[in-house]
Amino acid sequence: MATAQNALVVGVKDLVHKAGEMRELTLDVVAPEKYGEAMAIVPEGSELTIDLRLEGLHEGILVTAEVTTQAEAECVRCLDPFTTELQVDFQELFAYSSTDSDSYTVVNDSVDLGSIMRDAIVLELPFQPVCKAECYGLDPATGEKRTTAPDESAADEIDPRWQELSKLLESDSSTPQEP
């Protein structure tokens, strides 16, 4: 496994200015940095498998990639840590020359996948990860993890902080209303 940032720099000398030429390869690299900052991340040092398709075009090199890795997350319902497989696809044109500051270019007969891959992975990370679909979260009264769905009667209970306001509702219903 390659560990340096330059492992994400792929040589394309055989494809430069050769429209119609194509090459496929698989890279097994280590994440050079942590991707993400919230409830789900791909930690630095995680294994990344990148399936690449490089195509020579008149304007540049078209890179199509599928990245597979493991994300570490914390369930937003029960707060348990878990891992989940993350699969990210992206496609980008690396131009031979560019006047746009936000476009990617072929530099020294190579393409640098680092920033594109980081952006694609971060955008694919779940915003509110859940350990499993049937996670019932934490019991608000005890703070313990629920193993069954909450009771319907719990929804009818009034929060003690709002108890005084409920008296206003009772007094409105007992007062006869004028026609």
Question: What is the Cα–Cα distance from 108 to 133, expressed in whole angstroms?
Answer: 48
Instruction: Report pLDDT digits (tens) over 54-67.
Output: 998 888 889 999 99
Question: Does the structure show a pLDDT above 50 at 114?
Answer: yes
Domain residue spans of the chain:
5-124
Looking at residue 3, what is its pLDDT?
39
Query: By C-alpha distance, which of 119, 126, 87, 89 is closest to 102?
Result: 119
Where is pLDDT greater, at 57 or 151? 57
Question: Does the structure show a pLDDT above 50 at 2?
Answer: no
Looking at residue 4, what is its pLDDT?
46
Give the H or E element holding residue 71.
Answer: strand 60-74
Question: Does the structure show a pLDDT above 50 at 1?
Answer: no
Instruction: Report pLDDT digits (tens) over 121-135.
Output: 999 999 899 988 888
Q: What is the mean pLDDT of the chain?
A: 83
Question: Does the structure show a pLDDT above 80 at 174?
Answer: no
pLDDT band at 179 (very low <50, low <70, confident <90, very high): low
Looking at residue 155, what is its pLDDT?
53
- Residue 88 pairs in a beta bridge with 67
Structure tokens at 89: 């696809």
Q: Supply the DSSP string of 11-70, one letter for each residue.
A: E-TTTTT-TT-EEEEEEEEE-SS-B--SSEEB-TT-EEEEEEEEEE-SSEEEEEEEEEEE
Answering whether pTM is above 0.85, one says no
